[in-house]
Structure 1
Amino acid sequence: MNFTKPFINETWERMGFNEPMPVQKEAFPLLLDGKDVTIEAPTGTGKTLAYLLPAIEKIDPSNERIQVVIVAPTRELVMQIQQVAQRFTEKGDVRIGSFIGGVELKRQIDRIKKKPHLIVGTPGRLVELIDKKKLKLHETHTVILDEADQIIDSGLTEAAERIIKHTSHERQLALVSATLTDSLKEWSAPFMDEPAHIKIERAVSDQVTYGYMLTTRRYKPELLRRLSHVDGVKALAFINNRSFLPPLRGELQKLKVNYRMLDSLKGKRERVETLREFRKGEYPLLITTGLAARGLDIEDVTHVVHFDLPESIDDFIHRSGRTARGNAGGTVLSLVTTDDLPHLKSFARQLGVELKELEIYRGDVIEKRIEEKPPVVKRPANKRGPRR
């Protein structure tokens, strides 16, 4: 892999990367050539670098205008993309800026004055800055929508359209997601010029154990407590609706579980600190919703727990992809009732994976043991002598 900007190549080597991943091999030449592209690839396959490195490569540092705009649906994903971008530009002359809601507007306007070449932000905050005439994108040649399906599904289409329309008419547009829905393709068609489609098929890792524990709704918090005591565990548990967080918090506090919750309505500083502590292993269990964790990349997650089984297989895949990153192993554990089990088995059939029933035994998660019934001992017939 060779980019003309030496600091990209140096960072690539310093981070220990060898060959580009499949999605990167396909995306690099197309994006460098200026083509519109849709990228559909599972979580954890290297999508961020697939679009980010060509975008940085095409930036002209002598032009102090904003040249690249990356739009992401959540504040956490924006910060994550910014961190990766800064890592690859820290030894170069490309400036990065991030713009998210929940941060004082004046501070972000001051950030624009530093003349970033590449910006990454949430749709609402970017539109707010455009409306205040603080963000000028007429020389922006590259627009990337990361987790594009989530942007559309969250009702942010109008904001995304306004951002795109404020950029150069000769812009390049890339849509990136784990799943490209029909509604996303239909929405994006007017903005794209004969886009190239990259689709990386889902590969089921043989290093992932897909398992379940048959339980009741009431007993699920106790299973989380027991899992949190497994040696070396770093578990990410998903619930379907943030309205379930307060009652679950009450149950876990009664059980004295060492955990944190990642709540999309909490302040930025609190959420950043929660993630930092989890990454460092300061507590073994992080509970969140699918939306709050969308796009997060957390290394060394040993267990993904479906506390609630999601309705769609796409959500199941998104959540499950948080474990077994790179060459690491991991366990996807679903806590299911008898009513949930057929739904989970349907997911397993579609993914072509084997489901194992698991249990927590002597401080470890293992395949459920078959309880052997004690052998039936036949009593010898009562031999009586002849009556006298």
Structure 2
Amino acid sequence: MNNKFTKFNISDEILKSIEGLGYKTPSKVQEKVIPEILMNKDIIVKSQTGSGKTAAFGIPLCEKVDWNENIPQILILTPTRELAVQVSEDITNIGRFKRIKAVSVFGKEPISEQERKLRQKTHVVVGTPGRIIDHLDRGTLSVDKIRYFVIDEADEMLNMGFIGQVEGIIRRLPKKKVTMLFSATIPEEIKVLCDKYMNKPIDISIKNQEITNENIEHSLYYIDYEEKIEKLNDILIIEKPETAVIFAKTKDNVDTVFQWLKSKGYSVNKIHGGMLQNERLSIMDRFRAGDFRILVSTDLASRGIDVKGITHVINYDLPVEKEAYVHRIGRTGRAGEKGKAISFCVKGKDKLLNEIEEFIGFEIPVYNLPDKKVIEKEREEGIKTLKSKPKVKEQRSKDINSNITKIYLNGGKKKKIRPGDIVGAICKIEGIKSEDIGIIDVQDSVSYVDILNGKGKRVIEELKNITIKGKIIKAEKAKK
């Protein structure tokens, strides 16, 4: 296997997963973080979004999971629902062939469904602080066996006022555990938290310049406020982005930009905190699938925008918090890919810009806006591009899932069916071993089971002739 992750001495199941996910060479943060977690060291990691940090903790944590343990061993805190869902999906994909079960829990979703999932074998729980506390208070989340604890995007936790909740959760966890904190910045309040609860942590810092200077081309345009949206249109026509995220500072600005671009017939959508959670998650799934080219977003809603191949980030409004600039541009130039970060600054409003440049350690190159002749020359092709769907499709986990079939069974807990019963029945099929069976989800009236290694069609056929718990169970390829 020509994969540089082999040097970390991780198992074949994890290597097989990350190979399918396209991981070939560790990023800088992965290079430094993975060995420390494998050695059970507490770590504080300063690294921007897009540096590969989820895999940096996800790979070694999946390696450390004891599959036979039924209650959670790993707890990961994220500041937003979208990020919780994304991290949970990443952990599931990395741990696919080890059959690692990750559950995400967050607010504004029925807690009963989360409770059902947590009652089953669960290795990893990913959630927002408020909902984790809800489950702890209700006794529906056991943390007695938590051995690894991750605080992801800690500076965002601080900005959103969650640090008190995070500290309350830490006090309820076992004292003997490995703690990992990841943050684009390390404010004083975060340092105090680390000093109080971490055991001789190792500091790992991936400088912003190590990423932004290499992979991201920065540009700045000074504009008059009244011309802002027209100049955005000019830039889009010239740049013809394959996929772009446009950041605005308020949901009203997001709505305004979205409606204006939509009126032009462009391939565009939006997310902001005023939208229903299910709608936001659905839009993100469509963005990953390449259903539209441009996403307009606020900073808050952007947490969890983990989409491969974003070519442009456009700061229609400069962020109020200088740290947010690093988070924003981290959406492009990921994992060695090239990207562009384009920012608008209203003339005479340099204060935020100066703070950002001081924070990132360099001045953003200033460019003149394209002249009318250039725009007219590019207009027809630019508009045609902007109205079309992107060519780049989200390839995330495509390879790893190509040989996996999710099977639907029309029986569950009401028929006294347990995961072990399903494993037993499937293993009666000639040529099928327990290693071919992935994650099993037994619900009240139905069950779902992942069949690995391209054997799903055979299992569906053979289950027609096999009973489970003495009952004939209908099996078919799951629609979801």
What code does the residue aligned with 1:355 have? P
Partner of 2:217, secondary structure, is: strand
Q: In structure 2, how many angstroms separate the alpha carbons of the residues matched to 1:183 and 1:312? A: 16
| Contact 2:49-2:331 within 8 A present in 1 as well | yes
CA-CA distance at 1:137 after TM superposition:
0.4
TM-score by length of 1: 0.86
Taking a change above 3 Å as real, the CA distance of residues 23 and 250 of structure 1, as seen in their structure-2 partners, is: closer
The superposition leaves residues 187-237 of structure 1 with CA deviations (integer Å, 9 ceiling, x where unpaired) of 332211111111112213344322223322222222333445453442211
For structure 2, the residue ranges without an aligned partner over 5 or more in a row are 1-6, 380-480
| Contact 1:27-1:50 within 8 A present in 2 as well | yes
Q: In structure 2, how many angstroms separate the alpha carbons of the residues matched to 1:208 and 1:172? A: 34
Q: In structure 1, how many angstroms separate the alpha carbons of the residues matched to 2:225 and 2:327? A: 23
Residue in structure 2 matched with residue 92 of structure 1 by the alignment? 98
1:41 aligned to which of 47, 55, 60: 47
Residue in structure 1 matched with residue 362 of structure 2 by the alignment? 352
Taking a change above 3 Å as real, the CA distance of residues 177 and 236 of structure 1, as seen in their structure-2 partners, is: same
Q: Name whichever of 49-58 and 334-343 sits farther off.
A: 334-343
Partner of 1:198, secondary structure, is: strand
Q: In structure 2, how many angstroms separate the alpha carbons of the residues matched to 1:231 and 1:255? A: 14
2:378 aligned to which of 363, 366, 382: 363
Q: Name whichever of 292-301 and 218-227 sits farther off.
A: 218-227
2:228 aligned to which of 217, 220, 236: 220
TM-score by length of 2: 0.70
- 2:21 is the counterpart of 1:15: yes
CA-CA distance at 1:81 after TM superposition:
0.6
Residue in structure 1 matched with residue 162 of structure 2 by the alignment? 156
Runs of 4+ in structure 1 displaced over 6 angstroms?
A: none
For structure 1, the residue ranges without an aligned partner over 5 or more in a row are 365-388
Taking a change above 3 Å as real, the CA distance of residues 327 and 175 of structure 1, as seen in their structure-2 partners, is: closer
CA-CA distance at 1:3 after TM superposition:
4.0
CA-atom RMSD in angstroms? 2.3
| Contact 1:77-1:296 within 8 A present in 2 as well | yes
Q: In structure 1, how many angstroms separate the alpha carbons of the residues matched to 2:295 and 2:123? A: 35
- 2:143 is the counterpart of 1:133: no
Q: Name whichever of 217-226 and 101-110 sits farther off.
A: 217-226
Q: Name whichever of 155-164 and 123-132 sits farther off.
A: 155-164
Taking the TM superposition and a 5 Å limit, the aligned residue runs for 1:162-181 are: 162-181=168-187
* Count, aligned residues: 364
Q: Name whichever of 21-30 and 136-145 sits farther off.
A: 21-30
Q: In structure 1, how many angstroms separate the alpha carbons of the residues matched to 2:337 and 2:15? A: 25
| Contact 1:138-1:166 within 8 A present in 2 as well | no
1:304 aligned to which of 299, 313, 327: 313
Tell me which of the two structures has the higher relative contact order, counting C-alpha pairs closer than 8 angstroms and 6 or more residues apart: 1
- 2:285 is the counterpart of 1:276: yes
Structure (1 or 2) with the larger CA radius of gyration: 1
- 2:77 is the counterpart of 1:71: yes
Q: Name whichever of 46-55 and 1-10 sits farther off.
A: 1-10
Query: In percent, how many aligned pairs have the same letter?
Result: 25
Q: In structure 1, how many angstroms separate the alpha carbons of the residues matched to 2:350 and 2:175? A: 51
